[in-house]
Amino acid sequence: MDVLSEVLKAVALQGAVFYNAEFSAPWGFHAPPSHQIAPRLAPDGGHVIMFHLLTEGRGTARLGDEVLALEAGDIVVFPHGDGHVLENGMAAPAVKPASHNLNRLLGLGLRVTRSGGGGEVTKFVCGYMACDPRLSRLVLSGLPSLFKVRIRDDAGGRWLESSIRFSVDEAGADRPGGAALMSKLSEVLFVETLRRYVAQWPEGRTGWLAGARDPEVGKALALIHSRPAHPWTLAGLAKESGVSRSVLAERFRKFLEQPPMSYLTQWRLQIAARTLAASSRSVADIAAEVGYESEPAFNRAFKRAFGLPPARFRLQTRSQATVPPPARDAAPPGTLTQAASTRVAPVESRRASVAARSRRRSPRRRTS
């Protein structure tokens, strides 16, 4: 069983490529922290992961004092959404092209943006992944603030890079279906990058991803995530994982710093929280779905984990979701971003707005 696939199903990745650049040295690109652009890229809420794929030339990625050298075929990922800088030949990067109006850039789509000082050319595309913040926290907690992976060293990676580049060009030409294709490809690119990064880890690493790679702990995690409502016991989980209870408990603590049954409870409650926020199903139904035979027992466990009983948690989560995002005209100065996202201005909302204006302009006919 593939535990990473099981978890990524629940995390519900949703992404797109949103920037297509061709810069000539010297150049600098400043990406704001994801919480500033999330209301525009992922208005439905969620944590936003940012990544950049270099398809030609070279550059550096800088986050605070940490600097990574990049070349064509590298992808750099910022899993926690930190603001950062990409550059080549510019010690104190200015933003090129200069932009103080994020709203205007959101309408440009994936048409290539050219800028810079006329030297060595670097081409790159930028993407994002939006995911459930509660569920993704388990996977992302063991990742550094930035990391890079080379995807051009084998046939599969080269095919993926070529597909991204081709699809970006197609989307930039406003071909039908381009946005949907880019969404799927960006998800594949992120998952493949994560897989390659974890495969490079040396022995001795801990955290969720390291545990998922371990044969015994990975098997137990896959069982928990594929069947969270099953009445698991430590003995039953150890038996299906092919190890003794003591070995499973010891290895689980080594990688995840908690016993298997505590992790199971945590995962069940995370799934319940997501379902409460996203549906109107009864608390009793949700409790049964995640493995609780008693609604009162579920209520007590949920309140211990989230500080609120399930019904109040649902009301609070939905009231927070109705708070409108910051005004689009209030884009932070000195940021560069461009989005091909149909979710920024939903089609139905635009149609309703046009229809309302039309009704206001049209004089009413008198009826006899």
If asked whether residues 139 and 286 sit together in one domain, one would say: no
Say how far apart CA 89 and CA 117 lie, in whole Å: 10
If asked whether residues 214 and 148 sit together in one domain, one would say: no
Tell how many helices (H) and how many strands (E) occur in the chain. 15, 10
Residue 72 lies in a domain: yes
If asked whether residues 186 and 220 sit together in one domain, one would say: no
- The answer to whether the CB of 225 falls within 8 A of the CB of 6 is yes
Nearest to 94 by CA among 255, 360, 333: 333
- The answer to whether the CB of 275 falls within 8 A of the CB of 289 is yes
Say how far apart CA 356 and CA 307 lie, in whole Å: 44
Residue 172 lies in a domain: yes
**Side by side, which strands form the sheet with 84-88?**
27-31, 84-88, 58-63, 66-71
In this prediction, residue 113 carries a pLDDT of: 83
Q: How many domains in the chain?
A: 2
In this prediction, residue 103 carries a pLDDT of: 58
Say how far apart CA 158 and CA 97 lie, in whole Å: 30
CA distances from residue 20 to 16, 145, 165, 243 in whole angstroms, order as listed: 12, 23, 9, 49
Residue 309 lies in a domain: yes
Tokens of residue 124, six digits: 């790159």
The pTM assigned to this predicted structure is 0.75
Residue 301 lies in a domain: yes
Q: What is 163-184 written as a DSSP string?
A: HHHHHHHHHHTT-TTHHHHHHH
If asked whether residues 67 and 131 sit together in one domain, one would say: yes
- The answer to whether the CB of 33 falls within 8 A of the CB of 128 is no
Tokens of residue 190, six digits: 């992120």
Nearest to 271 by CA among 306, 240, 307, 236: 306
If asked whether residues 189 and 234 sit together in one domain, one would say: no
If asked whether residues 176 and 221 sit together in one domain, one would say: no
CA distances from residue 171 to 73, 101, 223 in whole angstroms, order as listed: 21, 22, 40
Residue 148 lies in a domain: yes
In this prediction, residue 341 carries a pLDDT of: 30
Residues in contact with 291: Cβ distance below 8 Å, sequence separation at least 6, in sequence order:
228, 229, 230, 231, 268
CATH code of the domain in which 128 resides: 2.60.120.280
Residue entry with tokens 């388990």: 138
Residue 269 lies in a domain: yes
Say how far apart CA 122 and CA 337 lie, in whole Å: 17
H-helix or E-strand spanning residue 74: strand 74-78
Residue 364 lies in a domain: no
If asked whether residues 282 and 258 sit together in one domain, one would say: yes
Within a 10 A sphere around the Cβ of 226, how many other Cβ atoms? 15
CATH code of the domain in which 307 resides: 1.10.10.60
Within a 10 A sphere around the Cβ of 349, how many other Cβ atoms? 9
Domain endpoint, select from 154, 180, 199: 199
Residue entry with tokens 């652009």: 37
CA angle 111, 115, 119 (to 5 degrees): 130
If asked whether residues 165 and 20 sit together in one domain, one would say: yes
In this prediction, residue 360 carries a pLDDT of: 46
Domain endpoint, select from 199, 227, 255: 199
Domain endpoint, select from 144, 168, 199: 199
If asked whether residues 247 and 132 sit together in one domain, one would say: no
* pLDDT tens for each residue of the chain, 368 residues long: 477 777 777 777 888 877 888 999 999 888 888 888 777 777 666 788 999 999 999 999 999 999 999 999 999 999 999 999 999 987 554 443 333 445 555 555 678 888 888 999 999 998 888 887 777 777 787 789 999 999 998 888 888 888 888 888 776 656 666 677 778 888 888 888 988 898 888 888 888 888 888 889 999 998 998 899 999 999 999 999 999 999 999 999 999 999 999 999 999 999 999 899 889 999 999 999 999 999 999 999 999 999 999 999 999 988 765 444 333 333 332 233 332 232 233 333 334 444 444 444 444 444 33
Range of the domain at 242: 208-318
If asked whether residues 47 and 97 sit together in one domain, one would say: yes
If asked whether residues 263 and 292 sit together in one domain, one would say: yes
Residues in contact with 310: Cβ distance below 8 Å, sequence separation at least 6, in sequence order:
272, 276, 283, 286, 287, 298, 299, 302
Residue 351 lies in a domain: no
If asked whether residues 289 and 194 sit together in one domain, one would say: no
Say how far apart CA 308 and CA 298 lie, in whole Å: 12
